[in-house]
């Protein structure tokens, strides 16, 4: 029996991969304008890194991690998200010594053991960005402006930015307690999961999809009514800066995010085009995370975009595969040899050149040139070899011109740079 890929893990094939490359290239281009450098970390880390940072009572750590023992009995985990590994690398390589402000971005696969469905996979990809070292609300607005700019550049506008503040270690405990007190009176209507976790992680109840949990928390206390003075001020300034940049947003006081390390500003980009998988990007501030991983006391903020969800939103609007610039057709083995050499010269000059490798008839070769949508075609036979002159067919215009074979590369260079 043929071997298939693991459930929830997908191949990205030619035809689709061009859209991926477009999304990645745009990220590199946009993020670079904002001064971000790429960082690449291993896909596997010590399990402890994720338990300590994401939080023991979160969905990710409780049930979604790909954790295994290696041959030396170390507990390893395929990264479920990018922030913790980036912070680990930041601390380990002392990047704060090089620059007090670090702007980093990453892209790559993440792994979560979830029930695979549209927009939710076990290996999925994120493009993420982190800013470490700045507490100012300017940086929250800057990061959100970059996210907004990225979505404009990739042509996805059916998304809405929602923001919230989750407070800080000063004011969050008060809110937690107020929420626990509220939930205690409604335990009967909560789902089993929430009944179990309302004490350890009461904020998760607000995020629970179960109807009972949603209905019974409609008038739960709002985190925004419990912010301390400095968190309130921070949030007000983030909103003011966003308005100054004309970035549209709405405040969603029920958005809690599923990771423990978030403080103050949190946000999601949501869409109504993807059913229940409605978040295409999410993130927030994580002041305290670097310190909790035994690094310096630096604040941080970041986001992660789900690339599969972007690709789904792009839908039929796929980025086309590049077409060959020229197809070299030939008759006879000597001409085929010449076509082969010419093709290599063209390719070295950066021109997309193709030929027949299968010894097909001229008619079949021209059919293939058409199927590949080659922009130009050149036919080489005995006569062309003798005279060194051949017809270059413009396949779009159905016209042709006589060219010197010795000038083909130069000519094609000119034609390709002007198209
Ligand atoms: P969700 O509520 O959809 O489970 P999440 O809060 O777990 O999302 P984050 O950890 O914030 O997601 O990850 C950021 C983004 O990564 C999400 O907004 C989503 O676009 C994408 N993402 C998360 N999990 C998956 C998955 N299993 N498959 C595909 N994309 C995912
Ligand atoms: Mg999730």
> Looking at ligand 1, which atom is closest to the CA of residue 259?
10
Cβ of 162 closer than 6 Å to ligand 1, yes or no, is: no
Q: Residue 417's pLDDT band (boundaries 50, 70, 90)?
A: confident
For the CA of 54, the nearest ligand: 1
Strand partners, 378: 328, 392
Residue-wise pLDDT for 241-266, tens only, equals: 999 999 999 999 999 887 778 999 99
3-class SS of residue 262? coil
CA distance 190 to 203: 13
Which of 214-218, 272-276, 325-329 is most confident?
325-329
If you measure from the C-alpha of residue 306 to the centroid of ligand 1, how many angstroms do you get, rounded to a whole number? 6
Give the CA distances from residue 314 to residues 23, 31, 158, 307, 416, in Å, rounded to whole numbers and listed in that order: 10, 21, 11, 11, 28
Regarding the beta carbon of 64 and ligand 1, being less than 6 Å apart is answered no
Residue 346 CA to residue 44 CA, distance in Å, equals 42
3-state secondary structure of 109: strand
Cβ–ligand 1 distance for 62 under 6 Å, the answer no
pLDDT(101) > 70: yes
**Mutation probe of ligand 1 site: the residue of 6, 150, 304 with most atoms within 8 A of C-beta:** 304
Q: What is the pTM of this model?
A: 0.93
How close is the Cα of 191 to the center of ligand 2, in Å? Answer: 18
Do 183 and 176 contact (CB within 8 A), yes or no?
Answer: no
Four-residue CA torsion sign, 45, 262, 308, 311? negative
pLDDT tens digit string along 111-142? 999 999 999 999 999 999 999 999 999 999 99
Sign, Cα dihedral of 165, 171, 176, 177: negative
Distance 121 CA to ligand 2 centre (A): 10
**pLDDT band for position 419 (cuts 50, 70, 90):** low
Is 81's C-beta closer than 6 angstroms to any atom of ligand 1?
Answer: yes
Going by CA atoms, what residue is nearest to atom 28 of ligand 1? 120
Q: Whose CA is nearest to atom 3 of ligand 1?
A: 277
Residue holding tokens 């959100």?
144
Q: For tokens 């040899």, name the residue.
A: 337
Q: Which of 54, 279, 308 to mutate to test the pocket of ligand 1 (most atoms within 8 A of CB)?
A: 279
If you measure from the C-alpha of residue 88 to the centroid of ligand 2, how many angstroms do you get, rounded to a whole number?
A: 22
Indicate which ligand has the atom closest to the C-alpha of 114: 1
Nearest CA to ligand 1 atom 4: 277
Q: At what angle do helices 307-314 and 17-33 cross, to 10 degrees?
A: 120
Give the ligand with the smallest distance to the CA of 125: 1
Q: Which residue has the tokens 């450098």?
A: 37
CA 35 to chain centre: 18
What confidence tens digit (pLDDT) does each residue in 31-48 have?
A: 999 999 999 999 999 999
């Amino acid at each position: 029996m043929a071997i298939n890929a693991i459930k929830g893990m997908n191949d990205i094939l030619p035809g689709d991969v061009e859209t991926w490359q477009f999304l990645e290239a745009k990220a590199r281009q946009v993020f670079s304008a904002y001064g971000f450098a790429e960082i690449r970390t291993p896909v596997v880390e010590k399990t402890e890194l994720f338990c300590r940072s994401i939080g023991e009572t979160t969905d990710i750590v409780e049930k979604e991690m790909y954790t295994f023992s290696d041959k030396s009995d170390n507990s390893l985990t395929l990264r479920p998200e990018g922030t913790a590994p980036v912070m680990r690398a930041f601390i380990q390589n002392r990047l704060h010594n090089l620059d007090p402000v670090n702007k980093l971005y990453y892209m790559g696969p993440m792994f979560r053991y979830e029930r695979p469905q549209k927009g939710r996979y076990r290996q999925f990809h994120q493009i993420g960005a982190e800013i470490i070292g700045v507490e100012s609300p300017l940086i929250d607005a800057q990061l959100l402006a970059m996210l907004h700019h990225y979505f404009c550049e990739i042509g996805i506008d059916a998304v809405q930015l929602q923001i919230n503040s989750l407070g800080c270690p000063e004011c969050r405990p008060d809110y937690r307690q107020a929420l626990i007190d509220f939930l205690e009176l409604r335990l009967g209507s909560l789902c089993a999961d929430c009944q179990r976790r309302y004490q350890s992680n009461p904020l998760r109840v607000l995020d629970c999809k179960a109807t009972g949990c949603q209905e019974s928390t409609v008038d739960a206390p709002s985190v925004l009514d419990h912010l301390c003075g400095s968190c309130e001020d921070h949030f007000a300034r983030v909103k003011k800066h966003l308005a100054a940049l004309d970035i549209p947003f709405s405040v969603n006081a029920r958005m809690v995010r599923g990771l423990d390390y978030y403080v103050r500003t949190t946000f999601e980009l949501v869409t109504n085009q993807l059913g229940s998988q409605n978040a295409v990007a999410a993130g927030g501030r994580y002041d305290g995370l670097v310190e909790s991983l035994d690094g310096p006391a630096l604040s941080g903020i970041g986001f992660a975009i789900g690339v599969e969800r972007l690709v789904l939103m792009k839908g039929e609007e796929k980025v086309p595969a590049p077409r060959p610039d020229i197809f070299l057709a030939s008759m006879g083995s000597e001409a085929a040899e010449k076509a082969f050499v010419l093709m290599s010269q063209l390719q070295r000059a950066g021109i997309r050149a193709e030929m027949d490798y299968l010894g097909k008839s001229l008619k079949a070769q021209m059919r293939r040139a058409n199927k590949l949508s080659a922009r130009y075609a050149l036919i080489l036979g005995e006569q062309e070899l003798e005279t060194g002159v051949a017809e270059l067919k413009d396949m779009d215009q159905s016209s042709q011109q006589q060219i010197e074979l010795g000038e083909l590369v130069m000519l094609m260079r000119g034609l390709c740079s002007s198209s």
